[in-house]
Amino acid sequence: MADCLRLKKSNCKNCYKCIRHCPVKSIRFSAGQANIIPNECILCGHCFVVCPQGAKEIVDDTEKVRVLLQSGDPVYVSLAPSFIANYDGVGIGSMREALKKLGFADVEETAIGATIVKREYDRMLREDHRDIIISACCHSVNRLIQKYFPKELPYLADVQSPMLAHCSDIKRRFPNAKTVFIGPCVAKKDEGALFQDIVDAVLTFEELTNWLKRENITLEARVEPDENSKARFFPTTGGILKSMDLDAKDYTYLAIDDVENCIMALEDIERGNIHKCFIEMSACPGSCINGPVMEKYHRSPVRDYVAVASFAGKNDFIVDQPEPLRIRRGFMPIQMNNAIPDEYEIREILHQMGKFKPEDELNCGTCGYNTCRDKAKAIYQGKADISMCLPFLKEKAESFSDAIVNNSPNAIVVVNDRMEVQQINAAAMELMNIRYSSDILGDNVIRIMDPAAFVEVQTKGRGIYNKPVYLAEYKRFVQQTIVPTGDKRGLLCIMRDVTREEEERSKKEEISRETVAIADNVVDKQMRIVQEIASLLGETAAETKIALTRLKETIVHE
C-alpha cells in the first residue's frame, strides 16, 4: 500500500479517537502514539477526518505534479465530478481556465470514465448472468474486500474504476500524455500508485486549493449547462444506479454507503443470504461528495447533493466504449497474517484488565473496540495496550486512591461545596468516635466538626496548613490542613492527631515547672544557710577580736 496517510507524532495526544472511528481497527498504539498499520488499512480516511489535533495528514503530491508539468509532455487532468460540490458555483469551464494557468494541457471530467464503467456494468448484468455484482468504483471498498472478505472477491466487478477508465482513455487519445486525477479521496492516491502506467499522480481538492492560492489564481463562479452528463451523479449515494439503464431482469439494485454498512452487507453475502443483486458500495457516508477531504473542510451533504444533481444532465457523455477486455481489472486477496489468540490467552488478558466475569466486560467502547474481547485480541497482536481501557484505569486509580486514604494514619474528611461529607476514612472515624461511615456520609460537616475553617477556605479560596486545633468534643489535639479539591468544588480536610505529643509536652512543662520550683526552694535554703553561717562567723570573729585586743593591751602595760 502506498504511503498516503502519515502521522505527525508531535500532535498525537493519546486520545484514541482515531481507533474508535476506524471501521477495521487498523491502528496500532505505541508509547501513546497512534500508528496506521498499512497492511490492514483500507484508506477510508476516517482517522484523518476525526483527529482533533490534526495529527493525521495526507501526503502532498503537489511537487510531484510540478515535476510532471516541467517534463515537456502534456499533462491532462481527470477531475472528479464531486468538484462541483467542493467549489461552490464553479463549473468545468472555470476549472479548465484556472488549471491551464497552472500549466496543464487540458481538463476533463472523470464522469467520462464513469460513463464507460456504468455501460460495462449494464452489459455484465445483461450478458454475463452473474449472481451478485459489487461495484468496483470505490478503492476503499475494494481494499475492504481484498483484506477482510476475500471469499467475496468473485462478486467484485472486474472492471476499472472511473479514474482508471478515464485516464486510460486520455492516454489512448493522447499517446504521450501524462494524467493527474484530482478528487476528494485519499484512497485514490493508493490506487494511482498501483497503476502508475495509467495514472501519473493524484491530488486532493485541498492540495489543488492550496496550490491555486499560492499562485493567486481565482476560480470564477460560472456553471455551463450540459445535458450529456448523466454520469455526474456518480459521486452521490445511488449515483451509479441513477446513471445505469437497469434493464437486466430479475435483479435487485441497491446502494450501500459507509464502511460499517458495507461490512454488514458483505457478511450477509458470506452467509448466503443475498442473491441476484447489483450492489453499489461506497465507503463514505453519502459517497464521494462526503469523501475525507470534503468531510473535513466542506461538510454540507444536502447542499452538495443538490449541487451535483443540478449539474448532472439527462443523457450520457458521448464516448468511444472500449471492448470489455480493455477495461478489465483483476483483484487478488491481500493476506494480513494476524496471530489469533486462543480462549485461554484471551481470558488471561481480560484478567489483566480486571475483567474476571462476563458482567465485568462493560463494552463501553472508549478504547475504540466493539467488545472487550476484541480489545484483548488487539493487545495480543501488539496493536493496543491494557491502559487504553477506561474502566480499568478508573478502577485502578480509585483503588490506588482508596488504598492511600483508607490506610492513612491521618484523619481524612472530604466535603462538597454544600459542606456535605462525601468521604471519611477509618482514622477520622476513630478520631471522632463514628462507628459506621453511613452515619455521617451526606450529612453536613457541622455534625462532627466546627465548619468555620471550611467556610474560610471555601470563601477565600486559599488553604489552611498544619493549624493547631483542639477538638473539645473529642478531647483531641490535631494539626489541621484544609485545601480545595482538584475540581475546586469540594474541600479536603487532613487532621494529624497530635494528642499524645500535646500530652507529653504538657507533662514535660509540668515537670519543668516542678523542677524550677524545687530548684528555687533549694536555692532559698542554701541562701539561708549561708546567711546563718555568715552570721555565726561574724559573731565569733568579733569576740575573737575583742579577746585579742584585751590580751594585747595587758602585754603592753606589763
Q: Residue 52 has which C-alpha cell?
A: 482533533
**Are 112 and 239 in a shared domain?**
yes
**Are 394 and 447 in a shared domain?**
no
The answer to whether the Cα torsion of 310, 315, 318, 322 is positive or negative is positive
**Are 271 and 351 in a shared domain?**
no
**Are 149 and 273 in a shared domain?**
yes
430 inside domain: yes
Cα dihedral 262, 263, 269, 271 in deg (nearest 10):
-160
What percent of the chain stands above pLDDT 90?
57
**Are 275 and 416 in a shared domain?**
no
488 inside domain: yes
Q: How many CA atoms lie within 13 A of 350 on its CB side?
A: 21
In 3D space, the residue among 451, 429, 449, 430 whose CA is nearest the CA of residue 438 turns out to be 429
Q: What is the DSSP letter of 288?
A: G
Residue where a domain terminates, one of 445, 480, 497: 497
**Are 136 and 36 in a shared domain?**
no
Return the top range by mean pLDDT from 86-90, 254-258, 472-476.
254-258
Q: How many domains does the chain have?
A: 4
In 3D space, the residue among 162, 121, 154, 120 whose CA is nearest the CA of residue 138 turns out to be 162
How high is the pLDDT of residue 68? 96
Amino acid at residue number 399: S
Radius of gyration of the chain (CA): 44
**Are 154 and 71 in a shared domain?**
yes
**Are 384 and 259 in a shared domain?**
no
Contact 111, 231 (CB under 8 A): yes
**Are 249 and 293 in a shared domain?**
yes
Q: How many CB atoms lie within 10 A of CB 163?
A: 27
520 inside domain: no
Per-residue pLDDT tens over the stretch 157-168:
999 999 999 999
Residue where a domain terminates, one of 59, 78, 104: 59
551 inside domain: no
| Residue 49 belongs to domain with CATH number | 3.30.70.20
Q: Please, what's the b/e burial string for 339-363 (b: 16 or more CB within 10 A of its CB; e: otherwise)? A: eebeeeebeebbeebebeeeeebee
521 inside domain: no
How high is the pLDDT of residue 390? 64
User: With 90 as the cut, is the pLDDT of residue 465 above it?
Assistant: yes
User: With 90 as the cut, is the pLDDT of residue 121 above it?
Assistant: yes
511 inside domain: no
How high is the pLDDT of residue 195? 96
Range of the domain at 432: 409-497
Residue where a domain terminates, one of 293, 327, 361: 327
User: With 80 as the cut, is the pLDDT of residue 421 above it?
Assistant: yes
524 inside domain: no
User: With 80 as the cut, is the pLDDT of residue 360 above it?
Assistant: no
Give rounded-to-5 percent helix, strand, coil for the chain: 50, 15, 35
How high is the pLDDT of residue 548? 65
130 inside domain: yes
Structure pTM?
Answer: 0.72
**Are 231 and 297 in a shared domain?**
yes
pLDDT band of 397, cuts 50, 70, 90: low
**Are 279 and 370 in a shared domain?**
no
| Residue 399 belongs to domain with CATH number | 1.10.15
**Are 320 and 455 in a shared domain?**
no
Of the listed ranges 4-18, 186-200, 480-494, the one predicted with least confidence? 4-18
Q: Which residue has the higher pLDDT, 76 or 506?
A: 76
How far is 237 from 308, CA to CA, in rounded Å? 11
Q: What angle do CA 362, 366, 372 make, to 5 degrees?
A: 45
